[in-house]
Structure 1
Amino acid sequence: METALVLAGSAIGAGIAVATGIGAGIGQGYAAGKGAEAVGNQPEAQGDIIKTMLLGAAVAESSAIYGLVVAIILLFANPLMKLL
């Protein structure tokens, strides 16, 4: 019974961890839209705007990657199973 509870909790935790990708996707879409708007307003600053936007996208994507790593650990290399 304990094993089933640990596996169920791990599956729920993995689902919540993967849900971090939703926030990252929304943030990146918002940043890309604002970056395109800024380039439209000031085309001469395109290089600086794109550099800043790409840096922000990389930072936002890192949280989604961390969520994916946590989900993979919970599903395939579950450290909680060793406690039983």
Structure 2
Amino acid sequence: MKLVYANVILVFLVLCSSMLQISMAGSDFCDSKCGVRCSKAGVQDRCLKYCGICCEQCNCVPSGTYGNKDECPCYRDLKNSKGNDKCP
């Protein structure tokens, strides 16, 4: 019976490890894309913060440092509480 529990715990740890790698890979994607997107921003920390939030929700970031939001409709359509564009 102890062997069964040990195997269950081992499988659980392997699955958790693979999920962690997947989520970290997504953040690396967002970090690199938002780094490019915000490279010319006046307030880079704010740009990176909101770009990261939008990227996590939409799984995409438009190319370039400004505009091109039609490449990613989800990113383009996210609005803040005041109705303005949320994503840089």
Task: State the TM-score bracket (shorter-chain normalisation).
Answer: 0.3 to 0.5
* TM-score (norm: length of structure 2): 0.44
Structure with more contact order per residue of length (Cα contacts < 8 Å, sep ≥ 6): 1
